[in-house]
Amino acid sequence: MKAPIQVEALYVLIGRQFTWKDQCYTAIEILSHPPTLVAQNHQTAPHIQNDVHGRAHQMVGRDIISIPILNEEGSQLHPDFLLIHNWVNPDQTS
């Protein structure tokens, strides 16, 4: 059964911003096995991570998420991937 999209065709989305579940993200990677979009959240602030003794240790970056591109059978786009909207090319935001 042929997949509904070639994952390699999605590489052009890397660096683009989008909205998913009312949060703003930037696509930072496309993984091919399993097909997954990796994105960084822009609305969560970096926070300080404590060491094992509870003392402030280091700044931890923004949340990173992975969104499956295809369903388990690889025959259709995953419902979570279909929730993505408002793709923006960062070159067009200014």
Interval 59-92: pLDDT, tens: 555 688 999 999 999 999 999 999 999 988 777 6
Q: Which residue has the tokens 């993200």?
A: 25
pLDDT band of residue 13 (cuts 50, 70, 90) is very high
- Binned at pLDDT 50, 70 and 90, residue 44 comes out as low
Q: Which residues, in sequence order, are CB contacts of 7 under 8 Å at separation 6+?
A: 30, 32, 35, 69
Phi-psi sector, 83: left (phi>0), alpha (psi -120 to 50), beta: alpha
